[in-house]
Amino acid sequence: MADTDDNAEFVPDFDISKPTIARVYDATLGGKDNFAVDREGAAMIATYVPKIREASQDNRLGLKKGVEYVARQGIDQFLDIGAGLPTMENTHQVAQAVNPNAKVCYVDNDPIVLAHGRALLADNESTAIATADLRDPPSILNHPDVNKMIDFDRPIGLMIVGLMMHFHPGEEPGNWIREILDACPSGSYLHMTDFANTGYPEQVAMEKSCIQALGNGWIRTPEEIEAHFQGLPLVPPGLDYPTRWFPEEPDRELIPVEDLEEHQRIIMMGVARKP
Ligand SMILES: C[S@@+](CC[C@H](N)C(=O)[O-])C[C@H]1O[C@@H](n2cnc3c(N)ncnc32)[C@H](O)[C@@H]1O
């Protein structure tokens, strides 16, 4: 990992009495970086969404497909906001499998992610991790570790994956995205996943259980999700469920949405290019 000296003495202050998004998500994926309170949160969600693990894996599928696609378009630097705890096939591993020279800067507002990320990335000079908050775009754009890894004069793969559902519409999270996109040059990509609201009961169950477990986790209509792309043109097929998203295979026969399994209709994904 690149030298992230100003935080070298950083000792995270974990509150293990309350579940956090990063740790509950880790628990849903079967990870070990979580505490009893997080596992209780994950178990509570599972009472409403029995296939929560598969739904989380579906979000990871959306992450992998988007990163592979963007890397294949020649993007060699990724800013992954809401990085989460390390798991299988992390962004740097997916991007560097396409382009070994790809750089990745992870950003998360939960200090536990920094602690675990540093252990994973200790030997990777092309990857950094910064503690900063999407709610405060300058905390990301002016972060020294972000600026060491990401060159804002060259196209960037901006990722906001598995994060938007945690913001209430009243917070107007699109404004934060616009501020970050404004700092990214032409030719950059925005890759996003979010909880879908297309009229299926499992989507409503996801929202209800997440709000109960975490206090947030709202579903959005495709129009609401698309609005977060700030008018950038989405690459075909536009917004879709990860199992149906094949931007490089326009003629591929797709499983009809009504025949997808319930957990495959929780997440929608999209990738847009800044002209
Ligand atoms: C559900 S996880 C998603 C992890 C990964 N991106 C994925 O899709 O698999 C959401 C992550 O966003 C982080 N997060 C929540 N609010 C945030 C904020 N305001 N700014 C930055 N990160 C945030 C959480 O700590 C958590 O690690």
pLDDT digits (tens, 9 = 90+) for 214-225: 999 999 999 999
Cβ(168) – ligand 1 distance below 6 Å: no
Contact by Cβ (8 Å): 198, 221: yes
What are 133-191's pLDDT values in tens digits?
999 999 999 999 999 999 999 999 999 999 999 999 999 999 999 999 999 999 999 99
State the distance from the centre of ligand 1 to the C-alpha of 133, rounded, in angstroms: 9
- Of all protein residues, the one whose alpha carbon is nearest to atom 4 of ligand 1 is 84
For ligand 1, say whether the CB of 114 is within 6 Å of any of its atoms: no
Q: Residues 65, 71, 77, 79: what is their CA dihedral angle, to the nearest 10 degrees?
A: -20
- % of the chain surpassing 70 pLDDT: 95
Which residue minimizes the CA distance to atom 24 of ligand 1?
Answer: 22
Look up residue 138 and give its amino acid: P
pTM of whole model > 0.85? Answer: yes
How far is the C-alpha of 33 from the C-alpha of 116, rounded, in Å? 8
- Domains parsed from the chain with CATH numbers: 5-9+16-273 (3.40.50.150)
The DSSP output letter for 162 is S
Q: How far is the CA of 104 from the centre of ligand 1 (A)?
A: 16
Q: What angle do CA 193, 146, 168 make, to 5 degrees?
A: 35
Chain segment 206-259, per-residue pLDDT in tens: 999 999 999 999 999 999 999 999 999 999 999 999 999 999 999 999 999 999
- Residue whose Cα lies nearest atom 15 of ligand 1: it is 82
Distance from CA of residue 111 to its chain's centroid?
Answer: 16
Strands (E), the chain: 77-81, 103-108, 127-131, 157-160, 189-195, 267-273
Q: How far apart are CA 104 and CA 83, in angstroms?
A: 11
